[in-house]
Structure 1
Amino acid sequence: MAKLNPSFWVISITLLSIQFKGSLGSASTNEAYVTLLYGDEFLLGVRVLGKSIRDTGSHKDMVVLVSDGVSDYSKKLLMADGWKVEKISLLANPNQVHPKRFWGVYTKLKIFNMTAYKKVVYLDADTIVVKNIEDLFKCSKFCANLKHSERLNSGVMVVEPSAALFDDMVKQVKTLSSYTGGDQGFLNSYYPDFPNARVFDPSLSPEAVKARPVPKMERLSTLYNADVGLYMLANKWMVDDSKLHIIHYTLGPLKPWDWWTAWLVKPVEAWHSIRVGLEESLPGTGGGKTPNDEFIVKLLFLLPLCGFLFCLYRSIKGRDFLSSLCRNSVCNQIRHLYYKVRSNGTLGYSGVSTLSTMNSNYQLHTGAHSKVPQYLGAVSVVVCFAAVLTSIGVSFMIVPRQILPWTGLILIYEWTFTIFFLLYGGFLLLVYQYGKKVAVQTGSPSSQTESSLDDSGKGHQRVDASCDFTALYYGLGMVFLAFAAISLPYMLGVTALFLSRLGLMIAVAMVLVSFMTYASEHLAVRWFLKSLEDRDTTRTKSICFLC
Structure 2
Amino acid sequence: MADQAFVTLATNDGYARGAMVLGKSLRDHNTSKKLVVLIGPQMSETCQSVLKRIFDEVKVVDVLDSGDAAHLGMMKRPDLGVTFTKLHCWTLTQFSKCVFMDADTLVLSNVDELFDREELSAAPDPGWPDCFNSGVFVFRPSLETHGKLLQYCTEHGSFDGGDQGVLNGFFSDWATADISKHLPFIYNLSSVAIYTYLPAFKQFGGNAKVVHFLGKTKPWSYTYDTKSKRIAGEVPEAATHPTFLLDWWALYSSAVVPMLQEQYGDQPFQSGCVEEASCSSPAEPETQMSSEQRKQKWEQGQADYMGTDSFDNIKKKLDTFLK
TM-score normalised by length of structure 1: 0.45
> Greater RCO between the two (CA within 8 Å, min separation 6)?
2
Compared CA separation, residues 250 and 409, structure 1 to 2 (3 A): farther
What is the Cα deviation at residue 283 of structure 1? 6.5
Residue type matched to 2:42 in 1? G
What is the Cα deviation at residue 482 of structure 1? 6.7
Structure 1 position 106 matched with structure 2 position 84: yes
Residue type matched to 1:158 in 2? V
Do the aligned partners of 1:177 and 1:189 also contact (CA within 8 Å) in 2?
no
Q: Partners in 2 of 1:244 and 1:481 — Cα distance? A: 32
5+ residue gaps, structure 2, are: 64-69, 225-230, 288-297, 311-323
Which secondary structure state, in structure 1, belongs to the residue aligned with residue 20 of structure 2?
helix
Which secondary structure state, in structure 1, belongs to the residue aligned with residue 88 of structure 2?
helix
Instruction: Please point out which of 164, 174, 190 is paired with 1:227.
Output: 190
Which secondary structure state, in structure 2, belongs to the residue aligned with residue 181 of structure 1?
coil
Q: Partners in 2 of 1:228 and 1:500 — Cα distance? A: 12
Corresponding residue number in structure 2 for 1:158: 138
Which secondary structure state, in structure 2, belongs to the residue aligned with residue 104 of structure 1?
helix
Do the aligned partners of 2:7 and 2:35 also contact (CA within 8 Å) in 1?
yes
5+ residue gaps, structure 1, are: 1-27, 201-217, 297-399, 414-479, 487-495, 506-547
191-200 or 56-65: bigger deviation: 191-200
What is the Cα deviation at residue 88 of structure 1? 1.4
What is the Cα deviation at residue 61 of structure 1? 1.1
Name the Cα RMSD after superposition: 3.4
Query: Rg: which structure is higher?
Result: 1
Do the aligned partners of 2:36 and 2:55 also contact (CA within 8 Å) in 1?
no
Structure 1 position 277 matched with structure 2 position 254: yes
1:360-509 equivalent positions in 2, closer than 5 A: 400=270, 402-404=271-273, 407=275, 483-485=284-286, 498=303, 503=308
Corresponding residue number in structure 2 for 1:386: none
What is the Cα deviation at residue 85 of structure 1? 0.7
Compared CA separation, residues 33 and 501, structure 1 to 2 (3 A): closer
Do the aligned partners of 1:120 and 1:159 also contact (CA within 8 Å) in 2?
yes
1:51-450 equivalent positions in 2, closer than 5 A: 51-90=24-63, 98=79, 103-147=81-125, 148-149=127-128, 150-200=130-180, 218-234=181-197, 237=201, 240-251=204-215, 253-260=216-223, 262=231, 263=235, 264=238, 265=240, 266=242, 267-278=244-255, 282=259, 284-285=261-262, 295=268, 400=270, 402-404=271-273, 407=275
Residue type matched to 1:247 in 2? V
Do the aligned partners of 1:197 and 1:219 also contact (CA within 8 Å) in 2?
no
**Number of equivalences:** 272
Do the aligned partners of 1:176 and 1:190 also contact (CA within 8 Å) in 2?
no
What is the Cα deviation at residue 282 of structure 1? 4.1
What is the Cα deviation at residue 143 of structure 1? 1.0
Q: Partners in 2 of 1:285 and 1:235 — Cα distance? A: 42
Residues 372-417 of structure 1: CA deviation (Å, up to 9, x unaligned): xxxxxxxxxxxxxxxxxxxxxxxxxxxx5x513x647959x9xxxx
Q: Partners in 2 of 1:97 and 1:502 — Cα distance? A: 42
Compared CA separation, residues 291 and 95, structure 1 to 2 (3 A): farther
Corresponding residue number in structure 1 for 2:290: none
TM-score normalised by length of structure 2: 0.73
